[in-house]
Structure 1
C-alpha cells in the first residue's frame, strides 16, 4: 500500500505555447483533505482537469501515480472508474430528473430483462441521502424542487455512488448558506474518517482552515509550497497566494459623499410562481454621489429581486418609482437602464453576465457596441483599443482578447463583467455579490476599484452576503428581511451583531 493515494509530479500544461501549469506537485494520503489555494487564474482548475482527465494523458507533461501505479487516463470515465470524482462549482445535475435518476445518471442499475431497476436505485439513493444526513429527501422527486444546499449534497451522493476514493470539491460552498456550509464541512470530516481523500478548492480560507490537513499553494502556474495546516495562519496562506502581504484586506480610502443622486421608492416584486407572495415589499431608499451603500440580509430577503427590478430585468410582476438627479426615471429594460447610467453586475455571472462562447473582448464591449458603430459598421480598431485598456485596468488574465470567456477563471470572468459595465460609464453601479467565488487578491483589486469609482462620484449599491465585506467597504448599510427594509445604518462602529439582529427582525440597538 502506497503512503500516498495520489501523487502528481511535475505537471506541465500549456495552451498555445503559454504554460498554465509549470511543474506542479500534489500529494494526497487516504483520509486526508488537501486545500488547494491560489488566486483566480493560478491554475487550480486546470490542475484538476488534468487529474480528472478532462485533459487526457498526452495533453500534458509530468506523471500521475494513483495508489502506487502510474495513471494514464484518456477520459473522465477512466478516472471515475479508478475512484477519482470531481464536483464542479457549477452543479452537473439535470433539474427535471429525480434525485435517484441524477445519482445514477450513466451508472444505472438494470434488471435481468435490461430495464431500469428503480426499486434498487431508490433504495441505494435513500441510503446515500441518510449517509449525508438528509433522510427527509424524497429521492423520487425532481432535483429542481430542492434548494442549492440540497443540490450540492446530491452531487456528493452522486460521487459517492461512483465509489469515490478521492473527492475533488471545487468551491463547494459558494452558493450555500452558513447553516448549509456547516453541514457540508461536517460531511467532509465524516468522509475523511471513512478513508475518503479530498482535494478542496475554496477562496473561503476559514473553511480551508476548518477541514484541511495540508495546504498546497500555487501561483501563476507554479508550485509555491505545501505545508501542514497546523503550521500556517490564514494571513500566511494569503501571503503565499498573492506573493505579498495584504495587511488591510478592505482598503477604505477617504472620499467625499455628495447630494442624493438616485432614489428608489416603493419597490415591490411579486413571486414569479406565486404572485400572491411579495419577494420585495414596498422598499424605498436613496443613494448619494460617491457613496457605497451596502445591502445586507439573509437568503430570501429579496435583495437580488430588488436589484433586478431597478435594472429593468425582473421577470415577474413588479412596481417601483425611480428618480435620477431629482427627475422621474422610467426603466423598462436593461438597455434603458444602461442608457440612463444605471448598470448592474449580476449575482449569477454564468447565466446573466457573460456569453460563454464569445471572446473575452466582445463580452466586454457587448453593452456599448453602438459606441463603436459607424454607418452600420463596427470600428474594430477603436473597439480593440477599449478592450485592451479595460483588460489592463482590471488586470484580467487572458491569453488573448479573442479567447472564449468560458476559458477564464471565475475571478477573471467577474472582472470582465465589471469591465463591461464600466465601459457604459455608470452613474449608479449595482454590484450583486461582486466577490462571490473570487480569491482574496482579486477581491482586494475589486475593492480598490470601488474606491476609485466613488472618488470619481459614482454611486455604488453593493449587495453582499459577507458581513465583514459589507462593513469593510460600505459608508452606509441597508438591512432587508423577508422582503422589507429593516434597518438603515451609518457604518461608523457598526457591528455584525447589529446587522444580524435587524435582519432577523429583532430590535437592533445602536452599535
Structure 2
C-alpha cells in the first residue's frame, strides 16, 4: 500500500479541443490538507470537478485511485458514496428549506412508512452546528434567514453529515468574516486530526499557509510543483503560481486628481426587512476627477448599500441626492445612472454581473447593444471586433468569445463584467469588491487597469473588505461604521490600524 487515500495520475481534460488540464498528478494521505494553488483559469476547479465526477469517468484521460483501487465514478452520488465531498464556490443550499432539511438534503432519515424523521434530523443538525460553533442558528428556520457566512458554514455541515473521507473546499472563505474564517480553520484542524483529508482552494494565501501541509501549484493546466508547506511561504507560492516574482502587489502609475466631479448628499438607506432601521445614515461625500476613492469598514458597515443606492440599485427604501459635474442627476434606476455617466461592477457577479445563459462575448456587449444595431439587426462583425478589442484590453483568458461565460474562471468572469461596464464610457466607475475570488496575478491586472482609467480622468469608487487593498490602490479612503461616515482620509501615511480605529468609532476621523 502507498499510504495514500487518493491518487490522481496524468489527468487531462479538453474543452472544444482546447486543453484545460494537461497531465496533472495529485496524491493525498488521510489527515493531510493540500493547498491547491494557481491563478484564475489555471485549472483548479476543473481538476476538482474531475475528482468529484461533475465530469464523469470517460470524459477525461488519466486515472484516479482511491485506497489503491481505480475509481470510475459516473456521478457526484458515486463520489459522495465513496466519501469524496466537494463544497463548491457557489452554495448549493435551497433557501426555502430549513437548515436541518438542507443539511440532510438527499440523505434524509425516514420512519416506517417513508415519512421523514424530523426529530432525528433536527437533533443531528443541532449537534453538527455545535461543532461548527453556530449554536445560535435555529435548525427549523429556513436557511434564507441567515447571512452568507452562516450559509457557508451550514454547507460545510452538510459535508460533515455525509461522513467525508476527503473534503474539497473551493474558495470556502470568500463570504466569511475574519471571526468565521478562524472557526472554519479550526474545523479543518479537527477534521485532519480525525483522519479526514482536505483539498483547500483559496486565493487568500495566508489561510493556505496557515492550514495546509502540502502545496500543489498548477499553471495553465499543467502541474508545476508539489512542496511541503514548511519549505514555502506566501511569496514563494505566488512566484510558483505566476511564474514570476510579484515583488510589488500594487502597481504605481502617476495620475492627476482634478476638480470635484461627483457629490453624494445625505444618502440614507433603510433595511428592507426592518424598515425602521437605517443601513446607511445621512452619508455625504465628494469625488474628484481621476481620483480612486476607497471605501473601507467592517462587515455590515453599509458600504455596498451606499454605492448601490447611488447607482439606483438598492432594493429597499432610500433617499439622497447625486450631483455630477455641478448638476443634480437622476440615478433612480441603473439604466438612468448609466445614461448619466455611472457604471457599477457589483459585489455578487454570479447573480448581478453576468447573464449565465449567454456567451463571453454576448455578456461583454450586453449594456451597449444598440451601438451595433442596424435597423432591426445586430452588425455581428462590428460587435465581434469590439469584443476582440475588450478581450485583448483586459487580458481576458478565454478559448473563444463564443464559450459560455460560466466556463470561465471567476477572475475572467470579473474581467468580462468590467469590460461590459467600461463599454458604457462612464465618468464614475463604482467597483464593489472588484477582486473577490480573484488570484494575485489577475488582481494586479485589475489594479493596473484602475490606475490607467484614473489617468484617463475616470473617477473610481472602490469598496473592498481587504484593508491592504484599499490602502494599496486608493488616493483617499472613506471609512464607514454602522451606516455612518466615520472617517475621510487622504491616503498618505495611512495605516490599517488608523482605518480600523475609525471604523469602530475611535481616533481622529480626518487625515
Partners of 1:316 and 1:123 in 2: CA distance: 37
Which residue number in structure 1 is paired with residue 178 of structure 2? 178
Residues 150-182 of structure 1, C-alpha deviations (whole Å, 9 max, x = no match): 211111111111110000000000001111111
Describe the SS at the equivalent of 1:279: strand
TM-score (norm. length: structure 2): 0.98
Describe the SS at the equivalent of 1:285: strand
Describe the SS at the equivalent of 1:265: strand
The Cα of 1:437 is off from its aligned counterpart by 0.2
Partners of 1:509 and 1:403 in 2: CA distance: 48
Task: Please list, as runs of the form range in 1=range in 2, the aligned pairs for 1:75-154 lying within 5 A after superposition.
Answer: 75-154=75-154
Partners of 1:186 and 1:403 in 2: CA distance: 39
Could you tell me whether the CA contact under 8 Å between 1:498 and 1:510 is conserved in 2?
Answer: no
Which residue number in structure 2 is paired with residue 187 of structure 1? 187
Which residue number in structure 2 is paired with residue 490 of structure 1? 490
Partners of 2:421 and 2:84 in 1: CA distance: 40
Partners of 2:206 and 2:457 in 1: CA distance: 35
Task: Please list, as runs of the form range in 1=range in 2, the aligned pairs for 1:253-402 lying within 5 A after superposition.
Answer: 253-402=253-402
The Cα of 1:2 is off from its aligned counterpart by 4.1
Partners of 1:124 and 1:275 in 2: CA distance: 36
Partners of 1:502 and 1:16 in 2: CA distance: 52
Describe the SS at the equivalent of 2:480: strand
Describe the SS at the equivalent of 1:138: coil
TM-score (norm. length: structure 1): 0.98
Partners of 2:503 and 2:173 in 1: CA distance: 22
Mind listing any 5+ residue stretches in structure 1 that lack a counterpart?
Answer: none
CA RMSD in angstroms comes to: 1.1
Partners of 1:145 and 1:343 in 2: CA distance: 31
Partners of 2:257 and 2:41 in 1: CA distance: 35
Which residue number in structure 2 is paired with residue 428 of structure 1? 428
Partners of 1:41 and 1:54 in 2: CA distance: 18
Which residue number in structure 1 is paired with residue 12 of structure 2? 12
Residues 393-441 of structure 1, C-alpha deviations (whole Å, 9 max, x = no match): 1111112111110111111000000000111111100000000000000
The farther-off stretch of 469-478 and 310-319 is 310-319
The Cα of 1:376 is off from its aligned counterpart by 2.7
Partners of 1:334 and 1:144 in 2: CA distance: 26
The Cα of 1:136 is off from its aligned counterpart by 3.1
The Cα of 1:345 is off from its aligned counterpart by 0.3
Could you tell me whether the CA contact under 8 Å between 2:486 and 2:509 is conserved in 1?
Answer: no
Partners of 1:169 and 1:326 in 2: CA distance: 49
Could you tell me whether the CA contact under 8 Å between 2:487 and 2:509 is conserved in 1?
Answer: no
The Cα of 1:148 is off from its aligned counterpart by 1.8
Partners of 1:361 and 1:336 in 2: CA distance: 24
The Cα of 1:510 is off from its aligned counterpart by 7.1
Which residue number in structure 2 is paired with residue 203 of structure 1? 203
The Cα of 1:509 is off from its aligned counterpart by 7.1
Describe the SS at the equivalent of 1:269: strand
Partners of 1:12 and 1:117 in 2: CA distance: 44
Which residue number in structure 1 is paired with residue 65 of structure 2? 65
Could you tell me whether the CA contact under 8 Å between 1:360 and 1:416 is conserved in 2?
Answer: yes
The Cα of 1:121 is off from its aligned counterpart by 1.3
Partners of 1:231 and 1:32 in 2: CA distance: 16
Partners of 2:283 and 2:302 in 1: CA distance: 10
The Cα of 1:131 is off from its aligned counterpart by 2.1
The Cα of 1:141 is off from its aligned counterpart by 1.6
Residues 459-492 of structure 1, C-alpha deviations (whole Å, 9 max, x = no match): 0000000000000000000001111100000000
